[in-house]
């Protein structure tokens, strides 16, 4: 997914994960935007949204002094394009319920598996679709080597829309923390075992 066409995630008190609201940016010079600059711009917009947005996950008392989220440097090697959502072939049931941070269960489907390589290491992540969701995005929660040290212990999220050709892009520069990191009133899905 191209960050030049993304806006900060909208959060909802009773929603279990963040949704991206899309609209076009107005580029007056019509020059191509470098990928890293586009990601930095997206992050600045996200910080502004956290600080001033009506649906910000930050408690109101913390917004005025909010200095911005910590981010890793943009790394284009963490963008995996042209991925196919392959059928889920694991041992767990396709239809199941994802436990949440507030001890609820959220009905979901294992929509498929993304396979990609980081260097010489073959990786895979399962993507999920929530029951009764109006969204076409695939929800990909995950844990990695930063989990519990540099990032939240329960993992981070990606929401991935299909490209026009039906493929998907996993862009880990756009990974985000669940809303319950900032305020426990949010109910956040916990990362299933296969994505840990």
- Say if CB 132 and CB 152 are below 8 A apart: no
Residue 23 is predicted with a pLDDT of: 32
Residue 33 is predicted with a pLDDT of: 81
Residue 10 is predicted with a pLDDT of: 39
Structure confidence by residue, pLDDT tens digits, 97-128? 999 999 999 999 999 999 999 999 999 999 99
Q: Which residues of 150-185 are buried (b: 16+ CB within 10 A; e: fewer)?
A: ebbebbbbbbbeeeeeeebbbbbbbbbbbbbbbeee
Find the range with the poorest average confidence among 18-27, 75-84, 159-168: 18-27
- Say if CB 50 and CB 58 are below 8 A apart: yes
- Pick the closest to residue 3 from 17, 20, 28 (CA basis): 20
Q: How confident is the model at residue 168 (pLDDT cuts 50, 70, 90)?
A: very high
Residue 38 is predicted with a pLDDT of: 97
Residue 152 is predicted with a pLDDT of: 94
Domain boundaries, the chain: 3-195
Structure confidence by residue, pLDDT tens digits, 21-36? 333 333 344 456 899 9
pTM of the predicted model, to two decimals? 0.84
What is the token pair recorded at 50? 């956290």
- Say if CB 158 and CB 85 are below 8 A apart: no
Structure confidence by residue, pLDDT tens digits, 131-153? 999 999 999 999 999 999 999 99
């Amino acid at each position: 997914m191209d960050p030049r066409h993304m806006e900060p995630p909208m959060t909802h008190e009773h929603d279990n994960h963040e949704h991206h609201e899309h609209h076009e940016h107005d580029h007056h010079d019509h020059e191509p935007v470098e990928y890293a600059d586009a990601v930095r711009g997206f992050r600045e917009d996200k910080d502004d949204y956290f600080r001033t947005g009506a649906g910000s996950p930050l408690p109101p008392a913390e917004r005025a002094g909010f200095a911005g989220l910590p981010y890793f440097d943009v790394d284009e090697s963490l963008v995996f394009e042209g991925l196919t959502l392959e059928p889920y072939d694991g041992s767990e049931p396709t239809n199941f319920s994802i436990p949440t941070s507030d001890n609820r269960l959220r009905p979901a489907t294992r929509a498929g598996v993304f396979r990609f390589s980081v260097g010489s290491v073959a990786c895979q992540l399962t993507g999920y679709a929530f029951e009764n969701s109006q969204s076409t995005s695939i929800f990909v929660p995950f844990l990695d080597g930063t989990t519990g040290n540099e990032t939240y212990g329960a993992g981070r999220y990606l929401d991935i829309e299909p490209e026009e050709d039906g493929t998907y892009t996993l862009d880990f520069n756009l990974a985000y923390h669940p809303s319950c990191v900032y305020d426990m009133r949010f109910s956040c899905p916990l990362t299933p075992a296969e994505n840990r």
